[in-house]
Chain A
């Protein structure tokens, strides 16, 4: 059926895309086209194609909707994949997401009364339908998805696929149906074969992500050179409301999705996992070694005698996963840490892991600006790092206050352990990708280990 396995064009196209993970020599091993969404001679003929690849030895599965045209189109050349022959006819094939007419076909299954072909399901949550012929526009490039705005809907086409239900769709559907105000509601999804191919959410036109919102505050702080509480750009009110939104989402997830309680054996296993990750990082990154003993001691302080309530959590919680809208904070992207395997991403864990992620994010955002710009104060007596630390402390406390965090010894020990685990991971990431930023998590790791020891 498909010629892409014998010919280089599709592999070459994939290798040029930002959402494609492989950096090495890529070969397309299998292409499984789904049913036509429009007749191949209707210009464009459109269908989803599930593309299996090998990058070096690494296998991957990608969602590549293609549009087939009988004449070449100059204006679509950015998304041109190659020419191919189907049923004795030549077709010019384009990435359907870069072809406006093809995008309309991809979305047409969400119109009221549409009858998509067998094997492809367009799920619509109550109240959602697209108007026929609604204007659509492609959003800029993203790491792992391609997003399209159609009316008030944001349609996110997953590019890298895992079999089964995408955790983002699963969690957001449950939260949306329960009426959660603290997420951006799910409107629908596209499922084909064994895969979730796309999800539809409300397009939050008025939103800015939490990372940019917090950076505006840090910028104002640096200019004022005062304690965070006195700064015009104080963020503590926002941090507190974000804490409250996080609690509301965690509570809903606990009510709607699986939960469990960890006893001594599971807690031992957790500590073993934390130590295992630490060992792996220390082996590859000697810069962490001097803090390893302190980190292990902090992990050991987790109290095995007290049961730990675990549940589905966000799993990759940081300021970039939040949106500040005119109707308050919204938490987004429940797919977990994308680099981890699916079973780990949907595994149960303590919600304190999410809190630790956000506490680390406050530290990151405050210190990222000096990391980018260097010291700017004209007054040598101003200690910018100390002012940033003060901002971090104030907003971490406000966030935990908004969450209603219980500051018992057991909870604090667990939170510290998760923070240290996160900081260790961050050091490894920065050493590999952004050595200039390594100082941020390293400095935090040192302080966290010291705090855990009560120093």
Chain B
């Protein structure tokens, strides 16, 4: 896909997945709305995207940082109703897995888990979004899966 020329192109291509990502990470509609808005405003202010073809990972990186900043400021309880909105339908990851992940995983692992298992990013993209190596991204996802399984036992 060609490089986005305008804010609108970036927004229209990626807003749904970024909103879903925010909802999956925060488990709260209002928080997800804030993260979505702050992510795109930050992208517009920081225009242009850093490198051709990497704007998706760039947006996920901004969104992840926004979520982590918020989590640091205020710990919130997850509303299961809102998680239902974000319910995944892929990779055999269930609503229960997601709810557990949101409860038990530290921010970095939760983000890796959601990016890979729910948003469907390649490991290379997960690594760019989380500013870590691909190997570290794989390790975080594996660790997250292990914790989620243990927690659900």
Q: A and B from one assembly?
A: no
A interface, CB within 8 angstroms of B: none
